[in-house]
Every structure is written in structure tokens, then in C-alpha cells.
Amino acid sequence: MTFTDELREEADSHWSAILDHPMVRRLGDGTLEEAPFRYWVRQDYIYLIEYGRVFALGAAKAPDLERMGTFASLLDSTVNTEMDLHRSYAAEFGIDEDELAATEPSPTTRAYTDFLVRTASHGTFGDLVAALLPCMWGFNETGTRLAARGMPEHKQYAAWIEMYAGEEFTELTSWCKDLMNEVAAEASDAERDRYRDLFGTSAQYEYLFWDAAWKEEGWPL
């Protein structure tokens, strides 16, 4: 049994909770009001900037050239391709580049990205992979399960589902799961326990990221 097989029961409980969240349910059936999704798009732009930093740290900490190259490619793709696509997608909701750039991180976005970057900075390469995995795995599961229920008529919501359920993102998720299994196979019991804790924390933040958008969370003062 691989390490991600061991994680699957816990992971499925998180993915099921996300699928049951009212924002995700309504995204899937096309009835979601656009205001919370516009909030999500703006916060995700801020998230992507810090996500890129995690890939940069992954390249720096990678134990071999192959993994270094993969993380470097992911950094390049995120900064120079995915963020351009995100800006184009945001424009379909009437969000221009200046508005994206001026977005203030919500408490949840700040906490989640700080957790990821701190783990990537101060932890081991294995810690970084464990913290990174729920983002890829969770979005792929969300997209795949929503797609299985049928695509919404809302064009932009359907595009979101197609992207995360698609072959390219599914392959990226499989790569990250395989990498987690490789790292865990060489780890001590104590390290594997730490990977589980980091994975669980990131998976909790994945749920909270949706919940914050649904509530259009802001700072209290």
C-alpha cells in the first residue's frame, strides 16, 4: 500500500466535505451567484503568487536534477502562463488586472499561504510535497466529481470544472501523488507522521478557502 493509499480515507472525507459545501454545490449546478465566485477568483490570484514561491523553494530543495527541473517548470508555468490565464478568466467576470493586483488577502488566504511558504522554507523537501499535495489532489477530485454530475450551463463555471477535471491537471495531480509516495517510501515513521499532519492541515485550508469565499470573508477591523 502506498502512502497516498493510506491518506485516501482522510483525504476523501475532506473532498466530500468540499463537494457538500453550498458554494461548490452551486458552482457545480450553475446556480452560484457570481459575487462569491468573483471573490474566489481575486483571492486565488493572490494564492497563485505564493504558490509560485512554493515551487521555487521546491526547486531549491529538490534532491536531484529531475525533480529540480520539474519544480522549475511548474514555477515558470505558474508565473508566466497560469497567471495570464487567470487574468483572462477574471476579465470574463469584469475583474481587471488592477483590481486583481490590489486584492487584499483575506484572513484565510493569508493563513493558508503563510503556512505553505513557511513549511516550504523551513521544512524538508518531503514536508513541502505533503503540504502541496492537497491543493492539486483536492481540486482534481472536486473538478472530476462535479463533471460526473453533469456540466452547468454557466459558461465560466463549466470552464472551471473542465480545467480541473481535465487530462493535464489530472496528470499533474498524479505526478504529485507519485512524488509523495516516493518521498514517503524513504522516510522514517516520524517523518511520515509529520507528512500526514501537514497534509491534513493543507486539506483543512482547502475547505476553508471555499468557505471564506462563500462568506466573502474580510478582516474584522
Told to judge if 206 belongs to the known catalytic residues of this protein, a careful annotator would answer yes
Note whether 128 and 184 are within 8 A (CB): no
Neighbouring C-beta atoms of residue 7, cutoff 10 Å: 24
Query: Which of 50, 141, 176, 206 is labelled catalytic?
Result: 206
| Grid coordinates belonging to 138 | 483536492
Query: Which of 135, 153, 167, 182 is labelled catalytic?
Result: 135
How many residues can be counted in the chain? Answer: 221
Told to judge if 186 belongs to the known catalytic residues of this protein, a careful annotator would answer no
Active site residues: 135, 206
